[in-house]
Each structure stands twice: as C-alpha cells, then as structure tokens.
Amino acid sequence: MSDAVRKPIAYRNQCKQVWCTGCGDYGVLKSFTRAFAKLHLANEKIAIVSGIGCSSRLPGYTATYGFNTVHGRPLPIATGLKVARPELTVVACGGDGDGFAIGIGHIPHAIRRNPDLTYFVMDNSIYGLTKGQASPTTRRETKEAKGLVGVDETPINPVLFVLASGAGFVARTQAGDMAHMAEMLQEAIQYPGFAFIHCLSVCVTYQGRSFQDQLDRDVHPLPTDHNPTDAQAAFQIARTDPWALGIIYRRPLGEEFDAKSEPVAE
C-alpha cells in the first residue's frame, strides 16, 4: 500500500478483540493504528511487543509483527529485537502490573541502554485479568474503599520513577482521548531513544464507568508555559500533578543523563 493512501484500518487484522465492553484498550489500539498511519509506516517495519495482561493482548489485533511475551518481560525482548533489527519501529506495551510489579527491574536498565523504542504503559491501577487485585499503582483510598490488601503501601509514581532512571522522553496521556494518545505516540516514536508514555486508563469491570468520568474531570493539559526540556520542571510535574497530560520531558538531542546534576527524586 502506498504511503499516500495508508489508513489506520490497514494496521488492523481480522482477529476479534475480546476486551470488556467499554475498556480503554479499544481506544489505545485505535490510537496505535492512527499514529502508524500518520507516520506512513510500512506494516512490515513495525513490531509490537507486550507482556501478559488485558492490555498486552494488543499485538494480536494488529497487522504488524507482534510478540506476546511472558509477564513483565516486554522490554528485554523489545530491546533485543531493536538491536537485531534496528530498521524496525519497535513499540513495547503492557499494563501497570506487568510493568511496575514483576517487570519493574527491567525499566531502568532499558532506559540506561537507551534503545530507540517506545514503552507504552496502560495504567488502570488494578489487575484486571486476574480479578481486580491491587496493583503497584493503586491509590490508598481506592484500596480502602474496595477492601483490597496493602492499604498502607505507597503507590508507585511511574512518571517520577522513569524520570529518576534517566528517560529522555516522558509523556502522559489517557485512554479516553484517542487523538491525544496518537499524538503522544507519534512524538515518542520520532524521538531517537527510549521513550515512555504513561497512559491513564480505567478497568470498567472492576472499577466501573464512573472511574472514567472522574478521570475525565481530573485530567488537564500541561501548563502552556511548560518547557519539556527543563528537567527541574519535569520533576516538579511528576511529584505534584498526576493528572497533567502532554510531553512532560524531552531531553535535548546530544545531552546525556547525569544523575549527579538531576533533581533528587524525593
């Protein structure tokens, strides 16, 4: 198919999606295909690598290369793939449990190796596939209200974690806004290094549709004067505003991460 007529549907296969009705993962899938189409990427030049979980089914619904790995392991597989096939556009994806529980140890190492790939995490703050347990990002008030274990445990701050690990591109979006997701994914793919996208999402089965309504009320764009090349400003956003959407940090080309000069992650 020529680039001039490439459409998002060209990146979808005939497999029937089996997510719950109303799941944000449908929108994420559409945002992926929109971004690929806008970038005029050839299907055979894309590889999507996932872990295990509801969101990790995404590669199975695309007409690209795809690999559904084991739980928490998309990043090492994606890194190896990019090294072996550098001409491919590689996108790793998964959920908050996959990425920030069993898979968290792989994140800082992928960041320091800085392969040219994108890691897209769909964070609904719950284990949806295994019946609604608390995940590493579940807020204390949610656990208390639902009677989940670990009420006294502090949730992980994904954006702060990847910034402190040295990620050169960090953005946040939400699963209820396909246009914004596609825009962030385009920017991440075009960034020449490791790029992280934190996608706020909702599990309609174990959280209910009201969570999406609340998410829509809470999220907002980054301040118009936010400078994404300012590391200090990025850390401040990560610490204080979990609902700000947009490109939080984009390290200027040619600069390297220096832990001694970066703000301390408190």
Say if residue 253's pLDDT is above 90. no
Candidate from 135-149, 157-171, 227-241 with smallest mean pLDDT: 135-149
Say if residue 147's pLDDT is above 80. no
Which pair of structure tokens corresponds to residue 130? 């295994």
Is residue 22 within 8 A of residue 204, CB to CB? The reply is: yes
The residue that leads in pLDDT, 138 or 48, is: 48
Note the pLDDT tens digit of each residue in 89-143: 999 999 999 999 999 999 999 999 999 999 999 999 888 888 778 888 888 787 7
The overall average pLDDT reported for the chain is 91
Q: How far apart are CA 46 and CA 63, in angstroms?
A: 9
Q: How far apart are CA 215 and CA 121, in angstroms?
A: 17
pLDDT band at 166 (very low <50, low <70, confident <90, very high): very high
Give 17's DSSP letter. P
Give 168's DSSP letter. S
**pTM for this entry:** 0.93
pLDDT band at 259 (very low <50, low <70, confident <90, very high): low
173-201 average pLDDT score: 97
What the chain holds in terms of domains, given with CATH numbers, is 21-250 (3.40.50.970)
Q: How far apart are CA 1 and CA 61, in angstroms?
A: 19
pLDDT band at 266 (very low <50, low <70, confident <90, very high): very low
